[in-house]
Amino acid sequence: MRGIGEKVWFIAAILILFLVGTVKEVKATSWVDLEPEEVMKRSKVVVKGVYDFSKTRKGSDFIWVGYNFHVEHVYKGHASDPLIVGIDGFDVGWADEFQQKQGKFLLFLEQAEGADFLTPVAGPNGMIQLLDGQVQHHNEKERESFSRFLKSAKGHPPDQTETSSNDSPVAILIVVALAVVAALYAAYRWRKRKESSL
């Protein structure tokens, strides 16, 4: 009996070592809580609006997933609407739930390593929840800091996107179709004139 127990423990140990050795990457996030002043200082862009979780835009090699963010106001830097903004994949659930309750976000954004888009400073530290225009935060001191920022910052509308309706595929197709019709009509008229002159 003793021999079987030792074999089971030995096989279990080998299996655990094998599993640990084959795991290449573990993605888990645990964010350090930053002071509001540090979040504001690190941010390159600050915007207010909502994520569009209806479709994933792009991923990155790290924890970030990029989604369209519909920008209502820009408080720092430059941003267009929509703006691709990253979110920690583990934060999508609670953020979507919050937005379904008519919540919005004041995002303090920075360029994170490994991401092709802006991301909230230190994950949820840079995602300030707004409900009816009021900062929602469990820490009173931090709520007051972000509320002061929001009241003192001069917001402006997002930059206009560079693509116009004239650049859309439908508009281009219509222009090409009209050019083809005009060329065919001109060829038809030229041929009729040539036939009538003979």
% of the chain exceeding 70 in pLDDT: 75
Around 69, how many Cα atoms within 13 Å sit in the side-chain half-sphere? 32
Instruction: Report pLDDT for 19.
Output: 60
Please state the pTM of the whole predicted model. 0.65
Instruction: Report pLDDT for 110.
Output: 94
Instruction: Report pLDDT for 5.
Output: 65
Q: Which residue has the higher pLDDT, 45 or 180?
A: 45
- The backbone region for 102, taken as left when phi is positive above 0, alpha when psi lies in -120 to 50, beta otherwise, is left
What's the whole-number mean pLDDT along residues 85-112? 93
Instruction: Report pLDDT for 24.
Output: 43
Mean pLDDT of the chain: 80
Examine residue 36 and say whether the peptide bond preceding it is cis (omega within 30 degrees of 0).
no
Instruction: Report pLDDT for 109.
Output: 95
How crowded is residue 6: how many other Cβ atoms within 10 Å of its Cβ? 10
What are 2-56's pLDDT values in tens digits? 566 677 677 766 767 666 555 444 344 567 888 889 999 999 999 999 999 988 6
What's the whole-number mean pLDDT along residues 66-75? 93
Burial class (CB in 10 A: 0-12, 13-18, 19+), 72: middle
Closest CA to 153 of 47, 72, 54: 47
Q: Which residue has the higher pLDDT, 2 or 84?
A: 84
% of the chain exceeding 90 in pLDDT: 40
- According to DSSP, the β-strands at 83-88 and 104-111 are unpaired
162, pLDDT greater than 90? no
**CA atoms of 36 and 163, how far apart (whole Å):** 36
The percent helix, strand, coil of the chain (3-state, each to 5) is 45, 25, 30
Question: Which domains are assigned to the chain?
Answer: 38-152 (2.40.50)
